[in-house]
Structure 1
Amino acid sequence: MTTAFITGATSGIGRAIAVALSDAGYDVYAVGRSQAALKELQAERPGIVPIAVDVCDREALESVVADLTIDVLINNAGIMPPLGNFADMKIADIDTALEVNVSAAILLTRLVVPQMRERQSGHILFTGSSAGHAAFPNVAVYSATKAAIAGFAAALRADLSQYGIRVTEIVPGRVETQLYKDILDAEARAAMYAGNVAVQPDDVASMVVTLLGLPAWADVTRFDIMPTRPTSPSGSKQGK
């Protein structure tokens, strides 16, 4: 496999994976909405091909994918809706979370899997979350979207394994990214990541490079990557 198509590649886990795969010799297509961020990424890694497109723009996404051969698809784009009790959520925030985190990933996968099936090879990865597998307060809709991705990935694997296509769900715990930048102030984010206890995007990227390097007959169906040290709700270390 040589070609990787990564959504949400302008920051955080997606950006780290794009850089790591480029360094590993993959031809990387980096997808994101921010042209400025994509230009910065390409300046850092000239071999990366930037694609400025909104994953929710179905026609634009279909047009982009139609001309590409994709060996590795990484559905990483996602958003965190405002934190709070579900009873107080805005309907618009619910709709956006479902569209970006679930519908866009399923649609893109549908656009890509036929070519993989024809070649009898390919690898599809989804960035899920520990919130999709355990209950946390104030993130009901986000948890629902990630649980949906977990279920989709498992069923997709059952559909596609007969064609030699591998499917992996990435399940991160607390990762130090920009996911909360629009819904938490700087002080709250600092508390969340206090003590250098959070997993880093590069840690996730290293795992992705490793599992992609496994022989075709071995599929890591899911990997969980969590901070070694637990944290309190405020983000501080527990214990010494």
Structure 2
Amino acid sequence: MKKVFITGIGSGLGRAFVNIFLENGYSVYALSRHLPEDFKDRVKFEKADLLSLENIYRSADNLLAGVESIDLVILNAGLLTPLKDIHDTPIYEMNRMMDINVWANKIIIDYFIDKKIKIDQIVAISSGASVNGNRGWHGYSISKAALNMLVKLYSREMENTHLTALAPGLILTPMLEEFVLRADEEKFPSVKRIRQSPKMSPEEAADRIFRLIPKLKEFESGSYVDIRKI
């Protein structure tokens, strides 16, 4: 049975990922703050708040002790806070986004390397915000740009693993609805474009990504890939 490791499965895209992989016969390992009721006894789960960097390594070890190989790792967990100008965004708020969007992933990848767990493919969920620099996206854009580089750097060290930083397109998640679609479109022009653009449900996005995962290997390991351009 193939194995997949996923972070952030409580809602949105992460929850949809679990469903699609279970439907396709995968054994699912998950680190997340929440385990939805319908996943109980169906996934191997360890509760973890990825803001608590000092606990992530131990949580990963509790979950994966004895596991020698994993077919696919999806680093999905991410944090966005309300849109605002970067001048108005305090460092502590941006640090929280860096912790979850970048450093938590470093700790997890380091764990795999330290424990010599064989990983065939790693997909880190990035964002178009990592490259477009739209007003209002402050620490989220910075952290996702850093995630892209983190993936590229690890690709130079993990010669037997294929890594991708994947922008999944516009997905109607609770995070998008709360922090983006309610924002001021006059002040932040990207909001109007996002409101007017077609958006996938988490289930549609998870299904599309699942089908495209093998195709990601056609790109150089360490690449940033926007799903809308595949």
Question: For residue 175 of structure 1, what is the aligned residue in structure 2?
Answer: 171
| Alignment partner of 1:166 out of 151, 162, 169 | 162
Gaps in structure 1 of 5+ consecutive residues: 228-240
- Structure 1 letter corresponding to 2:2: T
Question: For residue 58 of structure 1, what is the aligned residue in structure 2?
Answer: 53
Question: For residue 29 of structure 2, what is the aligned residue in structure 1?
Answer: 29
Question: For residue 125 of structure 2, what is the aligned residue in structure 1?
Answer: 127
Deviation at 1:26, TM superposition (A): 1.1
Question: For residue 225 of structure 1, what is the aligned residue in structure 2?
Answer: 227
Alignment of 1:104-143 (within 5 A): 104-115=104-115, 117=116, 119=118, 121-143=119-141
Question: Quick check: 1:145 aligned with 2:146?
Answer: no
Question: For residue 235 of structure 1, what is the aligned residue in structure 2?
Answer: none
Deviation at 1:201, TM superposition (A): 2.0
What RMSD, in angstroms, separates the aligned Cα atoms of the two structures? 3.2
- Given that 1:39 and 1:50 are in contact with CA atoms closer than 8 Å, whether structure 2 keeps it comes out as no
Q: Give the structure-2-normalised TM-score.
A: 0.79
Distance 1:130-1:195 versus aligned 2 partners, 3 A rule: closer
Gaps in structure 2 of 5+ consecutive residues: 186-190
- Structure 2 letter corresponding to 1:42: F
Question: For residue 47 of structure 1, what is the aligned residue in structure 2?
Answer: 42
- Structure 2 letter corresponding to 1:203: E
User: How far apart in 2 are the matches of 1:212 and 1:142?
Assistant: 24
Q: 2:158 aligns to what SS in structure 1?
A: helix
User: How far apart in 2 are the matches of 1:192 and 1:133?
Assistant: 16
Which moves more between the two structures, 59-68 or 216-225?
A: 216-225
- Structure 1 letter corresponding to 2:128: S
Q: 1:180 aligns to what SS in structure 2?
A: helix
Q: Give the structure-1-normalised TM-score.
A: 0.76
- Structure 2 letter corresponding to 1:225: I
Question: For residue 237 of structure 1, what is the aligned residue in structure 2?
Answer: none
User: How far apart in 1 are the matches of 2:18 and 2:53?
Assistant: 22
Q: 2:10 aligns to what SS in structure 1?
A: coil
Q: Percent identity?
A: 22
User: How far apart in 1 are the matches of 2:197 and 2:219?
Assistant: 34
Q: 2:134 aligns to what SS in structure 1?
A: coil
Which moves more between the two structures, 198-207 or 105-114?
A: 198-207
Deviation at 1:40, TM superposition (A): 2.3
Deviation at 1:145, TM superposition (A): 0.5
